[in-house]
Amino acid sequence: MLFSRIFSQINPINSCKNVKSIQSSIKLYSNFYNKRSTGQFLKLQLTNLSKNILKFKQFRRNYTINNIINHEYKKTKTNKTLFTQIILILAPIITFGLGTWQVQRLRWKVGLIEEYEDRLSKSPIILPKNIKIETLPEYFYRRVKTFGKFRHDQEMLIGPRTLNNNLGYYVITPLERENGTTILVKRGWISRDKIDSLLRRNDQNELVSIEGLLKNSEKKSWFTPKNEPDQNRWIWNDIENMAERIGAQPVLIEQNLVCSPHLINQTIQDGIPVGKIPIVDLRNTHLQYAITWYSLSLATSIMLYFLFKKPPDGHVVRQVMKG
């Protein structure tokens, strides 16, 4: 009975409170048996007991660490699930709002194009001597006429650009007007082998008549390289910086095509800049963007529905226990 009392409490899975009870039993056991053989047996059992106690402490330590790890893992998993749910809840709202914003932008762009086309349909006007820069946006895409002399020594090239699968540049030349003011004229496209102005037919010191559209600066996209005004390298049309570089007014006239479209190839070979046909060339991609955002809103709404969908009443979910 005494041995059963001792060794029934040696199991390391038991709580730490049993350790004191085991030690008291051993003390009682040693007082009861005084023979040498019994003492050796007891010593062996005490050694085994010490080992079991160490194993129990190690087991308790590992069990505690595993509990902490499992708790942190469940906490992290819960946080990730909560973050995913928040994203799925916000995604339909945000994408729907962006789609609605693109619809508003579409209406604005359509109205702007109609306004520019209305201006383009009107007869050309003479560019006034004193230009009010603050009112200039009211005349964008309006056909104008003016006179002056080109300053070919200060011309600038924008590009490279292609025309009929040929690589070239757009020529912007300052025009000195009769009243002494200077504006910019986008004369047209030239091929790459006609970059040198000496290889082109230029109107040197002659009074020329210019007709074209008043244009504004191009909008730089994220992927467009930067201009290098100090080195006179221009990738996109920046009227303000171009005008500042040569001391001109920030006014640009895009010269119209002055020859027949059938004579463009001959014009290119002669080194004469090829102007543009007067049209409204504003990009309008807001409809595609609106469709994209609304589609994303619908897709994320469906995902959100299936995420929070509950099983119907009376439906039993079966779980398969492994192991």
Token pair, residue 8, equals 């029934």
Which CATH topology does 125-256 take? OB fold (Dihydrolipoamide Acetyltransferase, E2P) (2.40.50)
Rounded distance between C-alpha atoms, residue 25 and residue 12, angstroms: 16
Locus of tokens 């339909």: 92
pLDDT of residue 15: 45
Q: Where are the beta strands (DSSP E) in the chain?
A: 125-126, 143-150, 156-163, 166-176, 182-191, 208-215, 252-255
Rounded distance between C-alpha atoms, residue 83 and residue 117, angstroms: 49
Which of the residues in the chain have pLDDT under 70?
1-46, 48-81, 201-204, 261, 310-323
What residue type is 303 in one-letter code?
Answer: M
pLDDT of residue 141: 94
Rounded distance between C-alpha atoms, residue 147 and residue 180, angstroms: 11
**Which secondary-structure segment (H or E) carries 21?**
helix 17-32
pLDDT of residue 12: 45
pLDDT of residue 174: 94
Helix, strand, or coil (residue 263) = helix
Residue whose C-alpha is closest to residue 58's, from 7, 12, 10, 11: 12
The ranges assigned to domains in the chain are 43-121+286-307, 125-256
Q: Checking DSSP bridges between strand 166-176 and strand 208-215, what pairing results, if any?
A: unpaired
In angstroms, the Cα distances linking 304 to 93, 153, 180, 294, 299 are: 11, 64, 67, 15, 9
Rounded distance between C-alpha atoms, residue 143 and residue 213, angstroms: 5
Contact 160, 144 (CB under 8 A): no
Phi, psi of 76 (to 5 degrees): -65, -40
Q: What's the farthest any 2 CA atoms get from each other in the chain?
A: 135
Q: Checking DSSP bridges between strand 252-255 and strand 125-126, what pairing results, if any?
A: unpaired
Contact 186, 257 (CB under 8 A): no
Rounded distance between C-alpha atoms, residue 257 and residue 160, angstroms: 20
Contact 131, 249 (CB under 8 A): yes
Helix, strand, or coil (residue 148) = strand
